[in-house]
Amino acid sequence: MKNIVIIGCGQGIGFATAKILSENHHVIGISRTENPEVRNLNMEFHPMDILSGNLGEINFPDVIDGLVYAPGSINLKPFSRLSVDDFKNDFEVNVLGAVKTIQKLLPNLKKSDSASVVLFSSVAAKMGMPFHASISASKSAVEGLTKSLAAELSAQKIRVNAIAPSLTDTKLASQLLSTPEKREASEKRHPLQRIGNGDEIAEMVKFLLLENSAWITGQIIGIDGGMSNIKL
């Protein structure tokens, strides 16, 4: 049984990951939002905003084997309507929250024989997409952080990878999928003609955390229905 910390376990991909992993592992979940089903999972839950909260208040296990940082943002606007604060807020949620968490838990990760960190990028960091300037900038920073940390922490046998999904059917994306017409248009943009779901992404998170992925580090893994690499 591994000790796994999931930041952003309250909904979406973070919740799907907690649901899968809590069946066989000790999961410590932290989230500012609380899905009513969170309390039904076999895990240790702490309600906290990762940006403003004090992680020192949580009694983490001495050894942490896995860390998942799942908070994200979807702030889609024309560039002319994006404020500097928009860019700052997206960067704080996607990058600085991850930095804060990894720095806090790094001593615990170093005590594991096979620690793994999973971060989240976006298909928009690879593809030029209109109205994505702020989110693309912050997710591109996540990809740079992933590769740099993978190199720096390899001597401690800590693996660091990122998953780059396309639009996924979660609460975060609900406004983009709020009508049948919007959903159909989103589905048609993907070569596989559908959008993804949280459980599919969670399965990749699980793979990256456990032993079968022990030779994978510094990778940005696209789970996007083929969008980033296929043109039909």
CATH of the domain at 36: 3.40.50.720
Is 192 part of any domain?
no
CB 45 within 8 A of CB 19: no
- Domain with 23, as residue range(s), is 3-166+197-223
Residue 185 lies in a domain: no
- pLDDT per residue over 175-212, tens digit each? 766 678 777 877 788 788 888 899 999 999 999 999 99
- Let me know if residue 59 belongs to a domain: yes
Question: Per the domain annotation, does 230 fall within a domain?
Answer: no
The mean pLDDT of 73-80, rounded to a whole number, is: 90
Position 186 in a domain: no
The model carries a pTM of 0.94
Q: Is residue 17 part of a domain?
A: yes
Domain count, the chain: 1
Element (H, E) at 199: helix 198-209
Query: Residue 50 is which amino acid?
Result: I
Q: Where are the beta strands (DSSP E) in the chain?
A: 3-7, 26-31, 44-47, 66-69, 115-120, 158-165, 168-169, 196-197, 220-223
What local confidence, expressed as pLDDT, does residue 178 receive? 67
